[in-house]
Amino acid sequence: MFRLYNSLSRKKEKFVPLDDKKVKMYVCGITPYDTTHLGHAFTYVWFDVLFRYLKFKSYEVNYTQNVTDIDDDILKRAKEENKNWKEFGDFWTKRFLSEMKSLNVLLPTHYVKATNSIAKIVEMVKLLNDKKFAYKRDGNVYFETKKFNNYGKLSRFDNKQMILISKERGGNPDDPLKKNPLDFLLWQKSKIDEPSWESPWSLGRPGWHIECSSMINRFLGDQIDIHGGGRDLIYPHHESEIAQSESLSNKKPFVKYWMHTAMVLYLGEKMAKSLGNLIMVSDLLKIHTANEIRWLLLSHHYRKTWEFDESELKKVKEEVSIIAKALKKIEKRAEVANPLYKEFAFIVDDDLNIPAALLFLINLAKRIEKETNEKKASDFRETLLSCLELLGFSF
């Protein structure tokens, strides 16, 4: 039985998609204003494994991932570097995709930019305004959180916690145009030197949260199976997505399974651009193989916070070497349907327990080295290689 941990219920649940054999999955993508660090890679490698595993289970998966290509951070950095904001964002998006490809991360079904969904964003903001969930002030449009009774149901934060965290994560509770400090921007009037689009309210640009709700609605519909992202997006981003999306769908559940990856630490703090404590994927690729980096990331369960330690890569290199040695005699490929493969799938079925699955594969590789019956050894190698390919490794 395939089970996933749901951040909303805070327990593991049997995975049953909304539509029998079809899965609609959305993962919040990057804001492209700098290079890719290990924290990014942790999230996208893990959701890549989920994407692969769902397809292995014969689901038809529509995986959509976005690029937040219009944002305060992009505009600020582009201005500091005296570059066009769009060209600046395109440059870092291409770098990100190149580095993900190096780690053997598959492209999603749809990879979409927020700026390509402006018409849908304006349409949804207008609907929220018409349904009295939003209000206009000086060219801005705000979502009125008091109109949504369950605001906070995902994070389970109280108002005081939400105000504090909102300040830390790009919100502005002190905005004098707001009715309530927790209300959030759906549309904001652009400054003279900022990019803008036409709308019924002002020449402006979209708020952060409505971008994702609009792209989900456009590519996946008003209800989806899985919504993923880093744990730091639970509030305010995902909380606000729920509020605006369920307000439009008459409180029909927006997401069935919420999934969040844990934070990667370095030097005692969350790895973050704002703190500068980054381990860059591009730097690691200069001295380690993609298999080694991917192995490192998947050796930590997606829900458990961990701290990067260079010494851990020494152990990873040894484990990958054991795997490579066991696969040296692969001569043919056949369809794998033996008990070992089923045992591997049984492990992964428990909330993507990939760290345990990697240990299983290491033990299988060691078993191959000791096996004297060449037919058995060959079968084991085929199983090992098939499991590795399912996890996105390339040997």
Using alpha carbons, list the distances in angstroms from residue 303 to 47, 118, 256, 259, 309: 12, 33, 18, 9, 18
Using CA atoms, how far apart are residues 188 and 121, in angstroms rounded to an integer?
A: 12
Both tokens assigned to 309: 């330690």
Using alpha carbons, list the distances in angstroms from residue 24 to 227, 345, 373: 9, 22, 45
Task: Name the 3-class secondary structure at 210.
Answer: helix
343-376 pLDDT, tens digit each: 999 999 999 999 999 999 999 999 998 888 888 8
301-314 pLDDT, tens digit each: 999 999 999 899 99
6-30 pLDDT, tens digit each: 999 999 999 999 998 999 999 999 9
Domains of the chain: which residue ranges? 3-265, 309-390
61-75, 156-170, 183-197 — which is least confidently predicted? 156-170
The pair phi, psi for residue 350, each rounded to 5°, is -85, 80
Q: Positive or negative CA dihedral for 144, 150, 156, 158? A: positive
Sheet with 306-307, side-by-side order of all strands: 269-270, 264-266, 306-307
Predicted local confidence at residue 378, as pLDDT = 85
User: For the domain bounded by 309-390, which CATH number is listed?
Assistant: 1.20.120.640
- Tell me what percent of the residues of the chain surpass a pLDDT of 90: 85
Predicted local confidence at residue 272, as pLDDT = 73
Its pTM stands at: 0.95
- Tell me what percent of the residues of the chain surpass a pLDDT of 70: 97
Q: Which residue has the tokens 């305010």?
A: 236
What fold does the segment set 3-265 form as a domain?
Answer: Rossmann fold (3.40.50)
Q: Which residue has the tokens 């000086």?
A: 138
55-113 pLDDT, tens digit each: 999 999 999 999 999 999 999 999 999 999 999 999 999 999 999 999 999 999 999 99
Q: Select from 312, 226, 221, 196 the least CA-distant residue to 265.
A: 312
> Residue 171 carries which side chain, given as an amino acid letter?
G
* Length, in residues, of the chain: 395
Task: Read off the pLDDT band of 335 (50, 70, 90).
Answer: low
What's the mean pLDDT when you consider all of the chain?
94
Contact 244, 124 (CB under 8 A): yes
**Whether pLDDT at 254 is above 80:** yes
Predicted local confidence at residue 270, as pLDDT = 80
Using CA atoms, how far apart are residues 69 and 85, in angstroms rounded to an integer?
A: 9
| Burial bucket for residue 59 (CB in 10 Å: 0-12, 13-18, 19+) | buried
| Burial bucket for residue 212 (CB in 10 Å: 0-12, 13-18, 19+) | buried
Predicted local confidence at residue 271, as pLDDT = 81
